[in-house]
Amino acid sequence: MTLAERDESAASPPTIDADERARRRARRLERVGKWVLPVLVMALALLAWDRIVVWNDIPHYTLPGPGLVFRTLIEDWAILFDALLVTLQITLLALLVAVLGGVGLAVLFTQSRWMEMSFYPYAVILQVTPVVAIAPLIFIYVDSRIAGLLICAWLVAFFPVLSNTTLGLNSADHNLRDLFRIYGATRWQRLRFLQLPSALPYFLGGLRIAGGLSLIGAVVAEYVAGTGGIGSGLAFRILEAGYRLNIPRMFAALILIAATGVLIFAALSLLSHLMLRKWHESAMTRER
């Protein structure tokens, strides 16, 4: 919608015909349904779970009911919350390093074809090698447990940032590139004023994927690292609870991990929306 059109529509009185009424009703239903339906499905699933457990007399060391899981979540909150903080710490640190490493490498690659040709294949190799296969080696050579976890989580998370940012840096409008050349822009100016802004939507897309992956990386690495005691995360709590047949706690920890993942995704989506809403197509709400 252009500014000129906007003026026009503001001046004329609104005419609402049958089509428009139908459209408005559909919009309203969609707005409500988007929230109500998933909650309804969740409630039904919990109810079914509960009934299955009660009606079949399933013992809690096989399948605890949702009520028991919820009670465990509250009773074991102190242990679980500490574990959550550890996992969250690794996840966020890994994400931070993935962003720094991914963007840094992407910038390096676009500044020098030689660098890209030399190192990009190895970035791909790191990406396609399963982290569970590399993790045991890492924990042999890296003494610090935190550092080991961080490396594992980083290995999983950095690639989407790297590949998306590289794509974004290279997809700056070619006429704008010509314009920068005509005006004698330096390499740094081109990067700062043209390539980085062009890459922002791509980078943010990569960041959302990397957020989920760094949580996965952190959890997987914890499984491999395995040693318990103070400073162990949610994945270790799940393993430990499994050895003790404390199934309710396994479920409680699982819920926390899932909730963390959702939260990270939501936060990064919000960040992306806030950064792009002024100018990028992806953040626009269509008018008609």
Partner 1 sequence: MPSEPARQAAPAPSGAAAARPPLLRMQGVDKVFNGDVVALKGMSLDVREGDFISLLGPSGCGKSTALRLLAGLSHPSRGRIAWDGGQEEGDLGVVFQEPTLMPWATVAQNIWLPLRLRGKSYAAVKDEVLEALRLVGLEKFQTAYPRELSGGMKMRVSIARALVTRPRLVLMDEPFAALDEITRFRLNDDLLALRDKIGCTVVFVTHSVFESVFLSDRIVVMAARPGRVIRELAVDAPYPRTDAFRTSAEYAAYCRDASDALHAAMGDAA
* Residues that bind partner 1 in the complex, under the rule CB under 8 A: 1-4, 173, 175-176, 178-185, 189, 193-194, 197, 200, 278-281, 284
Q: Which of residues 120 and 193 has its CB atom nearest to partner 1 in the complex?
A: 193
Residue 265 beta carbon to partner 1: minimum distance, rounded to whole angstroms? 24
CB of 176: closest distance to partner 1 in angstroms?
6
Residues 6+ away with beta carbon under 8 Å from 5: none
Q: In the complex, what is the shortest distance from the CB of residue 136 to partner 1, in angstroms, rounded to a whole number?
A: 45
Strands (E) in the chain, as ranges, are: none
Nearest residue to 124 via CA among 175, 163, 182, 83: 163
Residue 12, φ and ψ in degrees, nearest 5: -85, 145
Find out whether 72 and 252 touch, Cβ atoms under 8 Å. yes
The answer to whether residues 268 and 210 touch, using CB atoms and an 8 Å cutoff, is no
Tokens of 63: 């399948």
How near is the Cβ of 207 to partner 1 at its closest, in Å?
17
Q: How far is the CB of 19 from partner 1 (least distance, A)?
A: 26
Would you state the structure tokens that stand for residue 228, as one six-digit string?
């318990």
Structure tokens at 11: 């001046």
The whole-angstrom separation of Cα 166 and Cα 110 is 7
CA distances from 191 to 108, 126, 185, 204 (A): 11, 27, 10, 17
Tell me how far apart the alpha carbons of residues 266 and 258 are, in angstroms, rounded to a whole number. Answer: 12
Nearer Cβ to partner 1 (20/173)? 173
Q: Measured from the CB atom, is 15 or 285 closer to partner 1? A: 285
Q: How far is the CB of 107 from partner 1 (least distance, A)?
A: 18
The Cα 111–Cα 225 span in angstroms is 38
Would you say 2 or 15 has its CB closer to partner 1? 2
Nearer to partner 1, 77 or 279 (CB): 279
